[in-house]
Amino acid sequence: MQLQDILYSQGFGTRRVCAGLVQHGLVEVARDELDAPVPCLDATAEFETGGLQYRVQGVQWPYKEKAYVLLHKPAGTECSQKPSTYPSIYTLLPAPLRQRPTKSSIQGVQAVGRLDQDTTGMLLLSDDGQFIHRMSSPKKHVPKVYDVLVKHELVSEQIDRLLAGVVLDDDPRPVRAAACLQTSERCLRLTLTEGKYHQVKRMLAAVGNRVEGLHRSKIGALSMPADLGPGQWCWLGDADLAQVQLTEI
């Protein structure tokens, strides 16, 4: 693949912009995995993409045919390209991830589902439409684990009702927690396999309590990396993706 096309596919701008980056000596490429990247001034130079190592303006980037990333969403951010009140989570990502070309009308990686502005924790983003659909579909029953802080002291009857199922105002079908573990007087760990609007908050309200803090700590079998702070992101590898898509609880 030509270098300008590689850079375009990775979100570094139009092909003309990418060609300009190369011609101005801002792109370094390693011909071999054991070699250090060196400047390449030929935008039409051909490279194999597998294991390609390159730097753009001094920053090392891996070549990714499809992008899969995990963001530690901080409070006070919206999962929207056009936020209404709070900053968008997309401002936390580098420009190439936001500009990756896609077949849809919106470029860049897209959030797999949404978290409320005051909810923190694991948020997946990708430019792989099939992956986004698969992970978002309620038919796939991908478990998501939430650590919940509530206003009032929990009682066993509330835990029992969450497991048995509660009726929300927009659906006569009871919504059940796949698992529910009380971890302290006012904290519980709740596992859901579907994602309705404000579901955790509405389920707790239905049993007579109120959510005061909400953090998503696990998707599938993948837990939030301990060293990933709020607002930080990381690439997901093949092993991570396999864990994310596990449906066993």
Give the count of beta carbons closer than 10 Å to the beta carbon of residue 58.
7
Q: What is the CA radius of gyration of the chain?
A: 22
d(Cα 5, Cα 149) in Å, to the nearest integer? 48
Mean pLDDT to the nearest integer, 192-214? 93
Q: What is the mean pLDDT of the chain?
A: 93
pLDDT in tens, 220-242: 999 999 999 999 999 999 999 99
Q: Is 169 exposed, middle or buried (0-12, 13-18, 19+ CB in 10 A)?
A: exposed
Catalytic machinery residues: 116
Percentage, residues of the chain above pLDDT 90: 81
Mean pLDDT of 67-89: 96
Q: What is the pLDDT of residue 181?
A: 96
Tell me whether domains 3-62 and 68-136+229-238 share a fold: no
For domain 143-219, which CATH number applies: 3.40.30.10, 3.30.70.1560, 3.40.50.720, 3.80.30.20?
Answer: 3.30.70.1560
For 241-244, which contacts have Cβ atoms below 8 Å and span 24 or more sequence positions?
Answer: 241/68, 241/131, 244/124, 244/135, 244/142, 244/219, 244/220
pTM, entire model: 0.92
Among the four given CATH numbers 3.40.50.720, 3.30.70.580, 3.40.50.11540, 3.30.1490.190, the one describing domain 68-136+229-238: 3.30.70.580
Q: What are 101-117's pLDDT values in tens digits?
A: 988 777 899 999 999 99
pLDDT of residue 195: 81
pLDDT at residue 103, rounded to an integer: 82
With a cut of 60, say whether residue 249 has pLDDT above it: no
Q: What are the residue ranges spanned by the domains of the chain? A: 3-62, 68-136+229-238, 143-219
- Band (248; pLDDT cuts 50, 70, 90): low
> Which range, of 14-18, 61-65, 103-107, 111-115, averages the lowest pLDDT?
103-107
- Regarding predicted confidence, which is higher, 249 or 155? 155
pLDDT band for 92, please (50, 70, 90 cuts).
very high
Write down the CATH number for the domain with range 3-62: 3.10.290.10
